[in-house]
Amino acid sequence: MNIHSLLVSRFKQALTQMQVPDAAAPVTRSARPEFGDYQFNGAMGLAKTLKQKPRDIAQMILDNVELNDVAAKLEIAGPGFINIHLHDGWLANQCELILHDPRMGVAAQPQQNVVVDYSSPNLAKEMHVGHLRTTIIGDAVVKVLEFLGHKVIRQNHMGDWGTQFGMLLAHLSDKLEEEVAETALSDLEDFYREAKVRFDEEDGFAERAREYVVKLQSGDDKCITLWKQFIDISITHSEEVYEKLNVSLSRSDIMGESAYNDDLAFVVADLKEKGIAVEDQGAQVVFIPELADKEGKPAVYIIQKSGGGYLYATTDLAAMRYRSGKLDADRTLILTDARQALHFKQTEIVGRKAGYMQPEQSYEHCPFGMMLGSDGKPFKTRTGGTVKLVELLDEAVERAGKLIAERSSELSAEELNDVARKVGIGAVKYADLSKNRTTDYIFNWDTMLSFEGNTAPYLQYAYTRVKSIFRKAGIAPTVLNGEIKLEQTQEHALAVLLMQFEEVVGVVAKEATPHVLCTYLYDLASAFMSFYEACPILKDTVEDQTRGSRLALAALVANTLQQGLTLLGIETLEKM
C-alpha cells in the first residue's frame, strides 16, 4: 500500500470534480503528530485560479474529497492546509493484509530496463576508500530496483585500459623473468609505485612504456597476454573486496573500458560526419555552446587527442551508445563522485546530439560527496597514503569483535566471529549509506559502531530485540492469527510508519538515494522502541487479544527491518 499515492489520487478526483483537474495535488507527511499523519497543501496554490480565499478552497476540497474509509479526521489549519489523520481501523486492516507477506505489500512497478554503472575501479591500482561509496550505494540502488521488479543490468565500467598500462606492463615483463605474476602483483600499490619510480627516473624506461602502449593498442600477442595477466589479478583483488562487502557484483557484470576499444574510431568518425565534432589544433573536439563560460566561450569536449589517442570521454560516448542501443536501457544510472559531474553533463549533451539516446531514455549521473577523515580532509592513512579498502574492512570487523565481546558473554567463539563480521561490515556500509548522497561526510569509527543513534548496530540490535520477544513468548510469527487493533498513539504511529515502506523504496528507486531508506528504518526502529515501552506485550496482565495484536505489529517491524536492511546490503542477526 502506498498511502501517498492513494491520497494524491483521491485529491485529484476532488479537484476534477471542482473543474480544476490539472491543479497540483501536493501531499506530504506531516512534520508533527498534532498536524495529523499527512497534509494536503494544494489549496493556497489555487487561490488565484479560483479567485477565492485558500481556507474557503480547502473547505470546498473537503466537501469533494472521498476519504471516509481512510481518514478518521480531516481538518483545515493555518492559511489553508488540510491535515489528514488516518483511521485506526483502516490502518489496522492494511497491516493485517501484509502480515504474512514477505514483500510487505509492496507492489511491483511497471518494468523498466535499468543500467547501473557502479564500482568501476581503475585496475592499475588496488581498490581504495574512494571506491567505497560508488560500490555500496550502487549495490543498494540495484537491490531496490530489482525488488520493485525492474530488470537491472549491472555494468562495472572498470578502468582497464589507457596509457598507464604501458608503464605497468613494461615493469611486469621485467619482473616475470624472476617470479610469477601472482607474486609480482600480490600488492598492486607497491607494484604501481615501483613502476612509477622507474618511469620517472630510469633511463629509457619511459620510452619502453610508450612502446608498450602502442603494442597493446595494436593488439600485439605478447602484450595482450601480459595485460590479461595483469587485469585478471587486479580483478581478483576487487572480488575479494566485493565478497567482504557482500555486494552483488560478479565477473559477468564487468564491461571495462577496453570492451569499447573497437567502437572508438567509429564514434569519432560518426561525430565528424554528423558535423558535431570538428578538428581543432590537430585534435577532434566538440564545442558545447550550452555550457559556455561567462564570456560566452563554449565548453570544449575532446574526443581524440592530436596524437590519435582516445579519451575517457570517447569511451563514455561508446558506452552510452551500447547501453541505449544494445541493452535497450530505459534509464542509465552512473555513480561516481561529484567531481565528474561536468564530464557526464557534457557527455549527455554530445551523445543526445549524436542520437545515441532517444529522448525518452534517461541518463542520470548520480554524484556523491567524499569520505573525509576527522580533520575534514580526504580520508588518508596516518602516514598520508591512500587507505586500502581491504584493510579498512578488516579493521572494522576487528573493532566490532572487541565491542561485541565486551557487551555479551553468551556467544560462542564462532557466533562471535559471525556477529563481528556482520556488525563491522554493516557499520561501515551503513555509515556511508545513511548520509545524504551528495554531501561529504566524516568517517568516524566510534559513531558508526555505536549501538545508539542512526547506525547499523542500532538497527541490527532492534531486530534482535523483536526476535527475542518471540523467543520469550514461545510463538512463531507465522502462527499469529493476524488480528490487529490500534489503541495507543504509539501503535498508531508504528502502523503509519509500517505502511510507508512502499513509499520510501519508491523514492530510493527514483532518486538513487539509499539514505532515505536508512532514515526510515531508523525512525521505524525508534518508533518500535517507544511502542514497546508504552505497550507491554509479554506481561501477564495483557489480554490475549491485545498480545496477539501487538505481536503482529512486532512481526511486521521485524519483517520490514529485515527487508530494508537486506535491500541496503546489510545482514541481520537472530541474536547479538
The reply to whether 256 sits near ligand ARG by the rule CB under 6 A is: no
Site string for ligand ARG, 501-540 (x = CB under 6 A): ----------------------------------------
Burial status of residue 500 (CB atoms within 10 A of its CB: 0-12, 13-18, 19 or more): buried
- Is residue 303 a contact partner of residue 286, using CB atoms and an 8 Å limit? yes
| Nearest to ligand ARG of 117, 126 (CB atom) | 117
| Nearest to ligand ARG of 122, 490 (CB atom) | 122
Of 15, 318, 334, 404, which lies in the binding site for ligand ARG, with binding defined by CB under 6 A? 334
Of 96, 126, 160, 316, which lies in the binding site for ligand ARG, with binding defined by CB under 6 A? 316
- Is residue 209 a contact partner of residue 165, using CB atoms and an 8 Å limit? no
The reply to whether 253 sits near ligand ARG by the rule CB under 6 A is: no
DSSP element (H, E) containing 174: helix 164-175
Of 115, 140, 277, 319, which lies in the binding site for ligand ARG, with binding defined by CB under 6 A? 319
Pairwise CA distance, residues 437 & 433, whole Å: 7
DSSP secondary structure string, 328-375?
--SEEEEEEEGGGHHHHHHHHHHHHHTTSS-TTSEEEEEEE--EE-TT
The reply to whether 571 sits near ligand ARG by the rule CB under 6 A is: no
| Nearest to ligand ARG of 336, 346 (CB atom) | 336
Choose one: 99-107, 117-125, 321-329, 380-388; the region binding ligand ARG (CB under 6 A): 117-125
The reply to whether 117 sits near ligand ARG by the rule CB under 6 A is: yes
> How many positions of this chain bind ligand ARG (CB under 6 A)?
10
Which is it for the CA torsion 422, 425, 431, 435, positive or negative?
A: negative
- Is residue 431 a contact partner of residue 392, using CB atoms and an 8 Å limit? no
Choose one: 100-108, 114-122, 373-381, 391-399; the region binding ligand ARG (CB under 6 A): 114-122
Taking the CA atoms of residue 532, residue 538, residue 544 and residue 547 in that order, the dihedral angle to the nearest 10 degrees is 20
Give min distance, CB of 302 to ligand ARG, in A.
15
Start-to-end CA span in the chain (Å): 32
| Selection from 438, 272, 254, 271 nearest residue 347 by Cα | 271
Which parts of 533-552 interact with ligand ARG (CB under 6 A)?
none
Give min distance, CB of 122 to ligand ARG, in A.
5
The reply to whether 159 sits near ligand ARG by the rule CB under 6 A is: yes
Give min distance, CB of 158 to ligand ARG, in A.
7
Choose one: 113-121, 301-309, 381-389, 557-565; the region binding ligand ARG (CB under 6 A): 113-121
Pairwise CA distance, residues 372 & 386, whole Å: 12
Pairwise CA distance, residues 567 & 560, whole Å: 10
Amino acid identity for residue 123 in this structure: L
- Is residue 392 a contact partner of residue 448, using CB atoms and an 8 Å limit? no
Which residues lie closer than 8 Å to 491 by C-beta, 6 or more apart? 531, 535, 550, 553
Which parts of 335-354 interact with ligand ARG (CB under 6 A)?
336
Give min distance, CB of 120 to ligand ARG, in A.
4
Which parts of 118-147 interact with ligand ARG (CB under 6 A)?
120-122
Pairwise CA distance, residues 152 & 115, whole Å: 6
Give min distance, CB of 319 to ligand ARG, in A.
5
Give min distance, CB of 101 to ligand ARG, in A.
37
Which residues lie closer than 8 Å to 439 by C-beta, 6 or more apart? 369
- Is residue 379 a contact partner of residue 371, using CB atoms and an 8 Å limit? yes
| Nearest to ligand ARG of 60, 313 (CB atom) | 313
| Nearest to ligand ARG of 159, 426 (CB atom) | 159
| Nearest to ligand ARG of 319, 512 (CB atom) | 319
Site string for ligand ARG, 62-101 (x = CB under 6 A): ----------------------------------------
Site string for ligand ARG, 269-308 (x = CB under 6 A): ----------------------------------------
Q: What is the DSSP letter of 310?
A: B
Give min distance, CB of 155 to ligand ARG, in A.
8
Q: Cell numbers for 154, please give them.
A: 549491472
The reply to whether 157 sits near ligand ARG by the rule CB under 6 A is: yes
Choose one: 79-87, 116-124, 354-362, 456-464; the region binding ligand ARG (CB under 6 A): 116-124
Strand residues in 60-165 grouped as ranges (E): 71-77, 81-86, 113-117, 151-155
| Selection from 166, 164, 140 nearest residue 154 by Cα | 140
Q: How many CB atoms lie within 10 A of CB 427?
A: 26
| Nearest to ligand ARG of 336, 464 (CB atom) | 336
Give min distance, CB of 316 to ligand ARG, in A.
5
- Residues of this chain that bind ligand ARG (CB under 6 A): 117, 120-122, 157, 159, 316, 319, 334, 336
